[in-house]
Amino acid sequence: PRSVWLSRHGESLYNLYGRIGGDAELSPRGVQYAKKLPELVRQSVGGDRPLTVWTSTLKRTISTAKYLPETYNQLQWKALDELDAGVCDGMTYQEIKDVYPEDFQARDEDKYNYRYRGGESYRDVVIRLEPIIMELERSEDILIVTHQAILRCIYAYFMKKDQSRSPWMNVPLHCLIKLTPRAYGTEEERYQADI
Ligand code: F6P
């Protein structure tokens, strides 16, 4: 690809309450980000070239892409849904620590390989993203609006970091990342929304 654009969804109500997973709608701040995103994209593209937008199937990513120009094609991928936290879906980290202390510790000790009960690990996510990465490699001008764990894996891939380091990649809310692969490495630009 010439460039790939990456963004997390805007702040969701679950982000606000510190709950993981779920399918919550955007918070008022999250909606503000969705409304700013078209401007950030325009700035970063440097022109009016239309992008193709890939979201997950979850409400918070679809709502984040809602204000992008109608000329942008949009596609939803189940493979872009957030890391499945299984029985811990919808809990806060404190609740997980209280109810599943051994799991909490196991994840702390090996975050890349730890698989939530009835859910996924980062390693699992890397595998399920393979078709997405293949499709991305042969596409141009894709903007991906998805979730923290998913973006960490995609980001690590393009930045040529070892996949096992994915869980620690810094992918903040309300920040559009533009990655441009070059012969000597991937160039990175970040556009933080001031909201
Ligand atoms: O808190 C937002 C979130 O996207 C959760 O849905 C997800 O479980 C988590 O981040 C992933 O981050 P970490 O792997 O650091 O827990």
DSSP per-residue codes, 147-186: -HHHHHHHHHHHTT--GGGGGG----TTEEEEEEEETTEE
Question: Is 11 buried (19+), middle (13-18) or exposed (0-12) by CB count in 10 A?
Answer: buried
Assess whether the C-beta atom of 20 lies below 6 angstroms from ligand 1. Answer: yes
Assess whether the C-beta atom of 40 lies below 6 angstroms from ligand 1. Answer: no
The residue contributing the CA closest to ligand 1 atom 15 is 167
Whether 8 is catalytic is yes
What CA–CA distances, in Å, run from 188 to 36, 70, 124, 166, 176?
20, 27, 26, 17, 11
3-state secondary structure of 58: coil
Under 8 Å between Cβ of 192 and 175:
yes
CA of 26 to the centre of ligand 1 (A): 16
With a pLDDT cut of 70, the percent of the chain lying above it is: 100
The active-site residue, picked from 9, 19, 152, 174, is 9
Q: Measured on CA atoms in the order 46, 50, 54, 59, is the torsion positive or negative?
A: positive
Query: Using 50, 70 and 90 to split pLDDT, how confident is the model at 47?
Result: confident
The residue to mutate among 8, 20, 114, 122, having the most atoms of ligand 1 within 8 angstroms of its beta carbon, is: 20
Under 8 Å between Cβ of 173 and 33:
yes
Whether 174 is catalytic is no
Query: Using 50, 70 and 90 to split pLDDT, how confident is the model at 49?
Result: confident
Please check the confidence at residue 144 and state whether its pLDDT lies above 80. Answer: yes
pLDDT for the residue 39: 96
pLDDT of 75-118, one tens digit each?
A: 999 999 999 999 999 999 999 999 999 999 999 999 999 999 99
ipTM value for the complex: 0.98
Query: Using 50, 70 and 90 to split pLDDT, how confident is the model at 173?
Result: very high
